[in-house]
Amino acid sequence: EVISQIEAKEELYKCYVTIAKNRAIERAKQVQEQIDSGNLTGPLAGVPVAIKDNMCIKDMLTTCSSKILSNFIPTYSSEAVIKLEEAGAIIIGKTNMDEFAMGSTTETSAYGVTKNPRNPEHVPGGSSGGSAAAVAAEECFFALGSDTGGSIRQPASYCGVVGMKPTYGTVSRYGLIAYASSLDQIGPLAKDVTDCATILEVIASHDEKDSTSIKREDTDFTKALVNDVTGMKIGIPQDYFMKGLAPQVKEAILNAAKVLKDKGAIVEEFDLGLVEYAIPTYYTIAAAEVSSNLERFDGIKYGYRTNEFDGLHDMYKKTRSEGFGKEVKSRIMLGSFVLSSGYYDAYYLKALRTKALIKKAFDTAFEKYDVILGPVAPTTAPKLGSSLNDPMKMYLSDIYTISANLAGLPGITLPCGKDEKGLPIGLQLTGNCYQEKKIIQAAYTYE
Ligand code: GLN
C-alpha cells in the first residue's frame, strides 16, 4: 500500500532521496514469517517507516542531502534504526532534508525540493521536511527525524502531523551524522500522539556507543496516553506573543490553551525571559560545532572527491568547495570565526553562558508549571523559494523551537488549526527534562 502511494505521489512531493523498494519487500516477507510463527509481536511489526537521510543504514546510500556524501554507503546502521528493525518496522527509504540538517525549509538539499502535501506551492518545513511530508502524504506510516533546533517539530507543524523531540540523551545518536552534537536528538514524526509515544518507546534506549546517552527507567511513554489534564499547570510565555507572530497562529494557540483549560488544566501566562537571546545563542553554538563536526569530510576517507587537483591542500579545498552547498559553507565559516583565538571569549564562550541562563529560566518556569504551551513557528509554511532569499527571516522563524534544544528539553508539536489557505497551524508543548509523559498526556488529551 505504501509503495503504491509513493508511486502515485512521489513525483510531485519528492519526499525521498532513496526509495528502497526491493529491500522493503524482502524485509516485509521476512517479518511476515516471523509474525506468522509467533516470533514477532508488538505495535511496529510490519509497519513501514521512512528514515531521514542523516541516519546511517548499513548498505544503503546515506547522503545528508549533500553532494559531498553522494556516494556514501555506510557499513553499519544507526542505533535508532536497529531498534526499529528489531521491533519489525520496515524501512521504505531515506527522506530528503536540508543539507546536513541546516535549514528550515528542506530547500538547501542537493537533491531537489520537497513540497508540502497540504499545499504543494509551500515548503514542508525543515530540516526533516521529507520525513514530515512523507507522513502527511501517506508515503509511509511514520518517520524518524532529527531535531537540533526544531527540525522535527517545525516540519511536523507545517505538514499537519505530530512530531516529538525527546529529552537530550534519550535516543542514541550513534549513526546519526552529527550537525551540532550537543543539541541533536532523534525523534518520531507520525500521524497522531499515540503513534509518536509508541515509536519513542521503541527507539529510546541507553547506548554505550553514545557518550551522551542517558540511562532511564521511565521510557514506557505509552503509559502517558491518558485523557486527563485535571489540575495540570500549563504556562504560556507572554514573551512569545511578539511582533512577527501571525494573528491566526496566535488565535489558534490561545484557542488550544482554552480547550485544555476547559478540560481541567490550570492555564496562565507568565514571563519566561531571555527569549530574544535564543537565536544568536543557538546559531553561535550550532555553527561552532558544525565547523568542527564537518572537518571529517575531506575527500580522503569517504564521500565525494574532486576530479583534478594539484597536491593535498588543493584537493581539500576543491573537494569541500564543490561538495558543500552555500548554507553549509557559511555556517562552517561562521563557526570557525567564533572559535578562533581572539573571538572565542567574545562569541562562543558568551553563547555558552547565555545557554546556561536560558536553561535557568526554564528551570524557574518548571518550578511552577508542568508544561509550557506556545506556537511552533511565527507563521504557517512559507511559499517555496521565499525563505532562500531572506536567510535572516528563516533564522528568526526558529525562535520558538531552538530554546528547547539549548536547554535539552522534550517537546511535542501537533495540529491545532488551519490558516485561511488551509495550511496547518501547530501547537507546541514543552516539558522539563525527563517529563515526556506530561507533554504526551497533555497532547493526547488535547487531540
Ligand atoms: N533551522 C535550524 C537550523 O537551520 C534547525 C535545524 C535543525 O533542527 N536541524 O539550524
Active site residue 261: no
Phi, psi at 141, each rounded to 5°: -90, -35
Count H helices, E strands: the chain?
A: 14, 11
- Give the strands of the sheet with 185-190, arranged side by side: 16-19, 90-95, 48-52, 142-147, 185-190, 162-165, 411-418, 424-431, 371-375, 233-237, 266-270
What would the grid cell of residue 64 be?
A: 545528508
23 alpha carbon to ligand 1 midpoint, in Å?
31
Spatial CB neighbours of 123, under 8 Å, sequence gap ≥ 6: 105, 106, 107, 113, 114, 115, 116, 129, 158, 381, 382, 383, 384, 387
Spatial CB neighbours of 388, under 8 Å, sequence gap ≥ 6: 105, 107, 394
Quote the distance between the C-alpha of residue 56 and its chain's center. 16
Q: Is the peptide bond before 127 cis (omega within 30 degrees of 0)?
A: yes
Question: What DSSP letter does each residue of 294-326 carry, written as one string?
Answer: GGG-SSSSSS---S--SSHHHHHHHHHHHHS-H
Query: Which residue out of 52, 98, 281, 328 has the highest number of ligand 1 atoms within 8 Å of its CB and is therefore the one to mutate?
Result: 98
Which atom of ligand 1 is closest in space to residue 150's alpha carbon? Answer: 8
364 alpha carbon to ligand 1 midpoint, in Å?
26
Question: Does this model's pTM top 0.90?
Answer: yes
CATH number of 356's domain = 3.90.1300.10
* DSSP symbol at 213: -
390 alpha carbon to ligand 1 midpoint, in Å?
15
Which atom of ligand 1 is closest in space to residue 102's alpha carbon? Answer: 4
398 alpha carbon to ligand 1 midpoint, in Å?
8
164 alpha carbon to ligand 1 midpoint, in Å?
15
Whether the ipTM is more than 0.95: the answer is yes
What domain count does the chain have? Answer: 1
Strands 233-237 and 371-375, sheet pairing = parallel
Closest CA to 252 of 402, 436, 432, 423: 423
Q: State which residues form the domain around 381.
A: 1-447
Which atom of ligand 1 is closest in space to residue 152's alpha carbon? Answer: 8
Alpha helices (H) along 223-379: 247-262, 278-293, 312-323, 326-339, 350-368
Active site residue 403: no
Active site residue 127: yes
Catalytic annotation, pick one of 109, 127, 205, 213 = 127
pLDDT at residue number 242 = 84
Alpha-carbon span 148 to 296, nearest angstrom: 20
Query: Which residue out of 182, 402, 406, 428 has the highest number of ligand 1 atoms within 8 Å of its CB and is therefore the one to mutate?
Result: 402
| 233, β-bridge pairs | 266
**Residues 282/149, Cβ–Cβ less than 8 Å:** yes
pLDDT tens, the chain, 447 aa long: 999 999 999 999 999 999 999 999 999 999 999 999 999 998 999 999 999 999 999 999 999 999 999 999 999 999 999 999 999 999 999 999 999 999 999 999 999 999 999 999 999 999 999 999 999 999 999 999 999 999 999 999 999 999 999 999 999 999 999 999 999 999 999 999 999 999 999 999 999 999 999 999 999 999 999 999 999 999 999 999 988 899 999 999 999 999 999 999 999 999 999 999 999 999 999 999 999 999 999 999 899 999 999 999 999 999 999 999 999 999 999 999 999 999 999 999 999 999 999 999 999 999 999 999 999 999 999 999 998 888 888 899 999 999 999 999 999 999 999 999 999 999 999 999 999 999 999 999 999
What residues line ligand 1, using a CB cutoff of 6 Å? Answer: 101-104, 127, 147-151, 179, 286, 398
Spatial CB neighbours of 273, under 8 Å, sequence gap ≥ 6: 239, 361
What is the C-alpha end-to-end distance of the chain, expressed in Å?
26
Residue type, 323: G
Which atom of ligand 1 is closest in space to residue 283's alpha carbon? Answer: 10
Catalytic annotation, pick one of 9, 52, 355, 437 = 52
Neighbouring CB atoms inside 10 A of 37's CB total 8
127 alpha carbon to ligand 1 midpoint, in Å?
6
Spatial CB neighbours of 402, under 8 Å, sequence gap ≥ 6: 149, 150, 278, 279, 282
- Owner of C-alpha cell 519513542: 200
